[in-house]
Amino acid sequence: MFTTATSRGGTDISLAQWQSQFGRDLSSANSPVTYSSGNPDDDIKFTVNPTAASGQVSLDGTYRDPLSNVYSGQVTVGPYSSLILFNDGSAAASLRTADNPANAMPGLDYKYYEGNWSLLPDFSTLTAVKSGSVTIPNLTREANRTYNYALTYTGYVRVPADGSYTFYTASDDGSKLYIGSTLVVNNDGLQALTERSGTIGLKAGQHALTIQYLQGGGDQALTISYSGISLSKQTVPASAYYRVSTPCEGMYTLKSGNWSDVSVWSCGRLPTSTDVVRIMSDHTIVLNVDGTVKNLVYLGGTLHYSATTKLVIND
């Protein structure tokens, strides 16, 4: 519980004054309420949860707590807890606008490099040994060996609400994490497993993400975590990673099977609205899910439709 609060305009409000002005105590069912000293930018929201269960409180703007964490939309208040939030119109402007790319699909793109470095290299000067796409970073899958290599993962990370988010990399050896062009986490160098973090304000949606990783010798490890508005610290799940689906000039069938089976397709992904799809000779494809393509060409193969699915052809 609090006994006094100070607005950004410098007005001290005692608990007794607050009760007197609003005619209710802190455990009132009408909490939260807003105090204003005449300037809307000096609003203070007093939020109290007198119950044994966590509660959600809706916010009508962007607010900061005394630690400068940003809240918007809603905030979780723990059991028997109180929270003081300051109306901060400037906070919204400090939040990075989401990229929300077209043709986004689950996963990340990666590039794998081999070399002997003590710090993360300048990847723009290097040629990748191999590249591909993954659902989530996995060193033992992407790397060809256990020493002297580096990886980059690029794509987008989705955050659920406007606010301040902290990203963490735990790595052995070095790592960095960028949101857009901003370096959020610098955890570089040859080292035992070390976790470092950084915080950035983000609007809800998908934000450009780059993860860089360096392995010298010995153990290898990389874990990416985040925390934020109504989001406790956790490993970033596969469902939060996205990459951009690019047109594939050679989207054709490799074998018979279901449309939804990635291994059927030459591009290693399902066809999208930008692809010209070729059904090759002696291949039978079952349209077991809805699909959209730029064009469809039969080269001796067959496509079986079902009564519950459809294929949209844009051309």
Q: For each of the chain's 315 residues, which pLDDT tens digit applies?
A: 333 443 334 444 555 554 554 444 444 444 444 444 444 434 677 778 888 888 777 666 667 777 666 665 567 788 888 878 776 655 555 899 999 998 888 999 999 999 999 999 999 999 999 988 889 999 999 999 999 999 999 999 999 999 999 999 999 999 999 999 999 999 999 999 999 999 999 999 999 999 999 999 999 999 999 999 888 999 999 999 999 877 666 899 999 999 999 889 988 788 888 889 999 999 999 999 999 999 999 999 999 998 899 999 987
Chain position carrying tokens 């610290």 = 233
Note the pLDDT of residue 85: 78
Nearest by Cα to 221 from 175, 167, 186: 175
Instruction: Supply the CATH classification number for the domain 104-244.
Output: 2.60.120.1560
DSSP code for 253: B
Return d(Cα 272, Cα 109) in angstroms, integer.
17
Residues with Cβ within 8 Å of residue 51, at least 6 apart in sequence: 79, 80
Q: Is the CB of residue 294 less than 8 Å from the CB of residue 314? A: yes
Mapping DSSP to helix (H, G, I), strand (E, B) and coil, where does residue 19 land? helix
CA distances from 110 to 53, 85, 207, 211 (A): 43, 41, 17, 9
At 39, list the tokens. Answer: 């300037």
In the chain, residues under CATH classification 2.60.40.1180 are 4-93
DSSP string across 109-136: EEEEEE---SS---GGG---SEEEEESS
Q: 173: cis peptide before it, omega within 30°? A: yes
In the chain, residues under CATH classification 2.60.120.1560 are 104-244
Note the pLDDT of residue 214: 97
Return d(Cα 147, Cα 141) in angstroms, integer.
14
Chain position carrying tokens 């916010």 = 59
Q: 32: cis peptide before it, omega within 30°? A: yes
Return d(Cα 153, Cα 139) in angstroms, integer.
11
Note the pLDDT of residue 89: 55
Specify the pTM: 0.59
Q: Which CATH superfamily is domain 4-93 in?
A: Golgi alpha-mannosidase II (2.60.40.1180)
Paired residues of 299 in beta bridges: 280
Nearest by Cα to 173 from 137, 216, 114: 216
Note the pLDDT of residue 35: 40
